[in-house]
Structure 1
Amino acid sequence: MRRWNDRMLKTKMFISFSIVSLFIVGVTCLIFYFTNTSDIKNQTFSLSKIIAKQFSEMIDLYMQNVEELSLAISIDPAIQSNLFDFSKATSSIEKETIGYKLNPVLFNFSYPKSYVTSISIYTSDGQGFHYTKPANTNPDASFTAKEVHSFAGMLGSKSFILIPAKEKQTLAGQPGKTVSFIRRINKIPTQNIIGFVNINVNVNAFKMVLTNTKANEIENKMYVLIVNDEGRVVFENGAGSIGNSSSGFDTSVLKGNVQEGELMWNAAPHLYTYEKSEYTGWSTVILIPKDVVLAKQKRIQNIVVIVGFITMMLVAAVSYILSHQITLPLNKLMRKMSLVEQGDFNQRMEYAGRNEIGRLSRMYNHMLDSITRLIREAYESKLAEKNAQLSALHAQINPHFLYNTLNIMKSISRLRGVEEVAEISESLAGLFQYSMKNLHQPVALGEEIAHINNYFNIQQHRFGNRLELSYDIPDDLLHASLLKLTIQPLIENAVNHGLRRKRAGGKVKVHVSHENGILCVRVTDNGEGIAPSKLDKLYRALEATGLQHSQDIAGVGLLNIHQRIQMFYGKPYGLELRSKQGEGTEVALTIPYHIVQPVKEERAL
């Protein structure tokens, strides 16, 4: 242990980092290897589910097109007419003639559809008329009269049935690669069954859905099966056992709630997922050989081993470089501290990193900066003291000086007989005296009314008889408590904005009432009102009550009052605004109802 402690920090860091890093890389590679198997399987199942769903939806689209074609055939006038004629025909020649008439009609329906190999019309007694495309060298087998008679029961309430081509042998004796789409033909308008239409669909057309030039290895090796409820394989990509009972699929895996798992197919283990179509009743099964998945896992295993080895080598190299980078600034710091010991306080570290070395360097620099700050501290303290004295001198020029000056103006005006100037000075002095008190301290409603009278007295000297102020206030509400300067700004807004253009008959009314513990003050005027656009902005501003809105109003505006009320009393209270252009404006102020007891000392004053 002593020999380990005596080693240089650089060496200890390199050895420690190398051992710990190699251990972490090794464990990480092992964990990645063992968890990768599950991940690959889950990814394979996810891919299979997507492919199964897409393929099932595409098959549904094919069958929907076939259903539309069958519907068009069943209601075609020529088909209806010929089947009706067939029911009345008595000779074989007449019936054969009807077959010749139906041949061009069936040709017109089948020609545009590349996936249709043949179309057959069966009468209710089992007689069939067939049209097969010339390209179909192996004509599709027709149904017997007995099979046709069973169609009605098989259809029941269904619109159509799908029959795989298991029992329809071609001329060569091989299973046909078609699916029969069968639909009843009802007589219009009686809806009696007069026959059936059978459209044979080439299932090889389904392979177009699987064409993918960018398919990966798993997609190239997978099997796609379409299986009906009886376990018949309707379609299998790359195989020729469509509809063959010997290649029947074990439908037990399709009856559980789990849509993925493992099964044996063609004597080999496969991973499977399936998607059942509600439209056709078929299940689309995706089978992926398990050895394909294991082969991919083995490749990943080899890659993990190589990457792990390379990573270990890189970690060892990085550990050595990192330990060197850590000890280099420490050695530099030691050299600078030696110079500081000798009295050179200008030595600073220039390391700009945010790690521990960077923090240590900044702490070292801050330590040296503190010495310089201590030297300047006495001078800065004296300078701050002088600035405080200057601020105190400026603060002495306050509203008291203006209030005293107005009182002097009032006295001089009355001595010289200028009564109007004395009244204005007295009212203005009252305004200043009222404003010098604490704005956040509630006052009695009577004090606010006295303040309003002083303000309105000045305005009447300005406007004369153009303005009239009236009150509707019960005496018992004059002692109601409210914030100072909440009603007077409403009067000021009414005078400056609502009545500014009124030459005569301007009226402002203050109505105060209280109900259910709520004090309501309404200030109304008969002025010009507020334009709808501006009124809408005021509504939004009152709802928002943000400080950014109140900056648009000089002095104590509507929004300022609204904010003060909500800050003091709470959100349910504040201002409400109603106005109609050309008829006037009403501002309602609501606050909790409280009583302010008069102070005897203030009455003595």
Structure 2
Amino acid sequence: MKRWNDLLLKTKMFVVFSAVSLFIVILTCIIFYYKNVSDIKSQTYALSSTITRQFSLTVELFIQDIERLSVSIFGDPVIQSNLLEHYSTNNEVVQNAIELAINRQLFTYLQPRPFLQSIYIFALDRNVYYVSKANGEKVSFSLQEEDWYEDNEKKLKNKFFLLPTYYEATYGGRKEKVVSFVRNINRIPYREVIAYMKININVNVLKGMLVPPGRNEVEQKMRVFIITDDGSIVYDNKDELTGRKAVGLNSAILAQDSHYGDLDWNGRRYLYTVKRSAYTGWSTLVLIPNDVIISKQKRSQYILVPVGLLAMLLVALVSYMLSHQITLPMRYLMMKMNRVELGDFSERMEIGGNNEFGRLSRIYNKMLDSISRLISEVYESKLAEKNAQLSALQAQINPHFLYNTLNIMKSISRVKGVDEVAEISESLAELFQYSMRNLHHPVPLRDEIEHIRNYMNIQQHRFGNRFQLRIDIPDSLMSASVLKLTLQPLIENAVIHGLGKVKAGGYIDVRVRKQGELLVIEIADNGRGIDEKKLESIRHSLESRSRMDDDEDGARGIGLRNIKQRIQLYHGELYGLEIHGATDHGTTVRLTFPCLTYKKEEASDSHDYIFGGG
């Protein structure tokens, strides 16, 4: 499996396409082969059944002609009168005349029919009247010598019966194979039996009834038999078994009227069809060697094998071309991606069409555009953060001098007894000290609140009791982690821009709540508020980071924007700052932080700036 996974996609597609196509071709050839074999067998059975049925019907018609001939002989007045006279006289001269008259009349029936070999009329006594072609010798000399006579009543109940093939002597010592047609002769108009008739038929006449084999291989190799119920062979088209009996054929197949199937005979496999004639009592059996079917199967194989090989070759070629066509754009894309891996983000795919590779090219180009944009944004964000840190470090230079100066002023004010100046100096010094340490690190919320109190302590010396600071924070949230110097600038905005002209009754509310995973801090005042146009300008500045006009609200917007940027740089885009307000209805600023507990380790890598004091 590992080696398979390591193969190229082009190789995998070629192997899979070729294997599947090869399977389909082989399956198709197998189905075609067996279907062809089945069709050949069906056609062979159909041909064999047709031959069997036609041959059986032809033999029936021929025997019917023989029966009609026997009726003519049976009813001939000369034969009837002479047979009756035969029984009424013992005079030899008369008997010779009777024999001459009967034989002459029988000859008139025998001579014009080439298929007849001889005709016998057996009197009930030991006399026999006989005519034969080619002066054949008489074989039977009395009725009592005939084997069939002992069971004649049973055999003659259907008017006639047929005797199996046997040999009859002819002129020159030759022997002909004949079949005998036997029936009784009744006295007319009575049903009294006065004699028996036997008509010997030359078996060769049956050859003419069978259609001569044509060019069809099946017809040339088939065996045709006419068989009696006791297994005697009346006729064999190969003239090998005619007149024989018990030649190894299964007698069970002859018991049925009409059927077909397979059988083994003389060590070979045959397809057979059989048709039994109710009229003659004979069964026509046609055997076709299974070799004929096999030879046709081989001929179909000779066609299937090259066609299958050609189809496999074409499938393999098409599979290779298709896999190459599919993987070519992918290799081109991999080449582009290798260049991007080396840092070249200018590589772009050429988009062609609206197929899968066209869409993939568009997605790839959009992905590179997004990566380039993200790299620029991250670079600008890091650059802005570094600039903010540099500005903070630069801003610590002047607070350093002021911090030392304020400590000197506090010491002198204590010595001189000016406690108010000393208190303001102390609060201002703490403000500077807090703002100079770890600007980019979080602090607990209580430190930020203490810083607000120091700032308000100074402002109350300036504004007196014109407004007050109200703080609503649960004790459990005092240790929450917030960024340093994010609340004091908002308090300063509220004092300067909101409550600066308020004479009395002003307030600034600081409310902190936990909402799910958020820490929400709201700073609200009841000052003069912001008109809708300026509020929209500030919000636009917060979203677009554009520089505002240099007025008091522009300065406020820049401060708000810096706070929001610091929060999002540290915690992410989900957090930040929102502002709400209206003219003469105050202003509310809402900060959102992740609700985290401050840990001292957060500022463990910070640098404290220690300044000397007086």
TM range (shorter): 0.3 to 0.5
**TM-score when normalising by structure 1:** 0.47
The structure whose Rg is larger is 2
